[in-house]
Amino acid sequence: MDIGLSRNLNPQYLAWWHQRYARQAEWTRALRFHLYRRLEIARRKNILEIGCGTGVITGELAGRTDSTIFGLDNNAAALRLARIKGSNKGPIWIAGKAEKLPFGDESLDLIITHYFWLWVGHPDIVCNECRRVLKKGGKLAALAEPDYSARQDLPGCQPSIKEFLINDLTKKGADPAMGKKLESIFATAGFKATGGSVGDKTTFEQNPELFRQEWELLHKLGYPRQVLESTEIMTVGRGMIMPVHWAIGRKM
């Protein structure tokens, strides 16, 4: 599950989110590594992650290629932590806005994002910026973007976890259903777009740790404690479906 970082500069708060993003990246690892191969990342000379947060994905890329890697975010506190966690051969961190990328026209081979677009108020503006800075044939890749509108918790709980999360994200200015819209947003912006999704049912038996983490986050967000602590909530037989979409746009 993804919930974005506020401007809170408290180091403990930030460290908690860094850990959260690292776990989130574990859940999307298989999809991401499949897309890395498809995108031939080893052949790309320069790669930018927009909305890099605390640098979990940017750092991973730096460890997997000899490319020049940039991580850009508009949250200075998150970038500070990314710098501390980054390796020596680390990426170049940039404080900046996706809507005004500090790169020249046709200067990048690949732009990637991970749990980013739901937080973007005007994805069309960001897409246009990406098209501007990508070389011809360059690619814009959303490696994972959630669709909370298709979330299912089985059996259901009261209040509904899906509705609780959708309300929380909407209040914070995010678009909870962004995942399923992304491929068509890329196409409308003039990219040759492809996309898909993953999201099989995960059961408590398969991955109790995933449920423990979800419940920890729900608690942090204010979901009623008595429901989270009820005996039937963390049991064998509980399942969750949380679809995650990917999309790739090629600049023609």
Site of interaction with ligand SAM (CB under 6 A) = 2, 4-5, 21, 51-53, 56-57, 73-75, 78, 97-99, 114-116, 119-120
- Of 3 and 157, which CB lies nearer to ligand SAM in the complex structure? 3
CB of 5 to ligand SAM, least distance (A): 5
Q: How far is the CB of 112 from ligand SAM (least distance, A)?
A: 9
Check residue 148 and report its DSSP letter: G
Measured at CB, which residue is nearest to ligand SAM?
Answer: 53
CA distance 196 to 204: 25
Of 36 and 116, CB closest to ligand SAM: 116
Shortest reach from residue 6's CB to ligand SAM, in Å: 9
Give burial (CB, 10 Å; 0-12/13-18/19+) of 135. Answer: middle
Q: How far is the CB of 220 from ligand SAM (least distance, A)?
A: 15
Query: Long-range contacts: 4-12, Cβ < 8 Å, 24+?
Result: 4/118, 4/119, 4/172, 4/174, 5/53, 5/54, 5/75, 5/78, 6/172, 7/75, 7/77, 8/77, 9/77, 11/81
Q: In this complex, which beta carbon is closest to ligand SAM, that of residue 12 or of residue 158?
A: 12
| CB nearer ligand SAM, residue 51 or residue 199 | 51
